[in-house]
Amino acid sequence: MADFAHLGLFFVVVFGVIALPGLDMAFVLASALRGGHGAGLAAVGGIMLGGAAHIVMGVLGVAAILALWPPLFNAVLLAGALYVGWIGWTLLRTREGVALPAAGSVPRGRSVFLQGMLTCLLNPKAYVFMLAIFPQFLRPERGQLWAQAAALGLITSFTQAAVYGAVAVGAVRAHGWLAGNPRAGLAAARAVGAVLLAAALLTVLQGWA
């Protein structure tokens, strides 16, 4: 089993990767602004489940297969970018700002949860992490790989919950002020949409560079 210094180093690396703005964080932000605490936290839960799936795929070697077959990796990259880009385009065209919808029109938690999981599964940053960083923390001499992967997976999940949960709560708290300023709310919604589109475009450009 990995020692505490080993796990501590992994936490520092994972925190830096998760705290870096990307597709997952943008989806959580957009979900919280559009659906409130419930939608924001559902998005976080979905992303956490997607992260757990990445851990399993990493141990099984799926990430290595993607590395050996670049066309498949590029297809995953493009799918994730297009999906998030579509969300950004929808926000960019909105005329309703970030005012939270009425109770009957709030996005269902299950739907947002599944979308969050899909966003994480199609997030190329996660695959890059699994290819370049995760394998470095799996050492056969330290014990069973599955036990090590489980420990690293728990650290990843708790870090996702803390970082993305803070993003969701912060977004909802900002809603009150934005709701009282329609123009600012509209500008914020479109700004989030622009960020999502920019992130999607940058993802495609970096993937094909």
Confirm if 25 and 167 have CB atoms less than 8 A apart.
yes
| Residue 119 CB-density burial (10 A; 0-12 exposed, 13-18 middle, 19+ buried) | buried
Tokens read off for 148:
């090590």
Tokens for 157, please give them.
């999940």
* pLDDT, averaged across the chain: 76
pLDDT per residue as tens digits for the range 27-36:
898 888 778 8
Burial class (CB in 10 A: 0-12, 13-18, 19+), 197: buried
Dist CA 192 CA 21 (whole Å): 12
Q: Could you tell me how far CA 63 lies from the centroid of its own chain? A: 18
One-letter amino acid at 81 equals A
> How confident is the model over 183-209, as pLDDT tens digits?
766 776 677 778 767 767 776 776 555
User: Is the confidence at residue 161, as pLDDT, over 60?
Assistant: yes
Q: Quick one: which of 120, 124, 23, 118 has its CA closest to 77?
A: 124
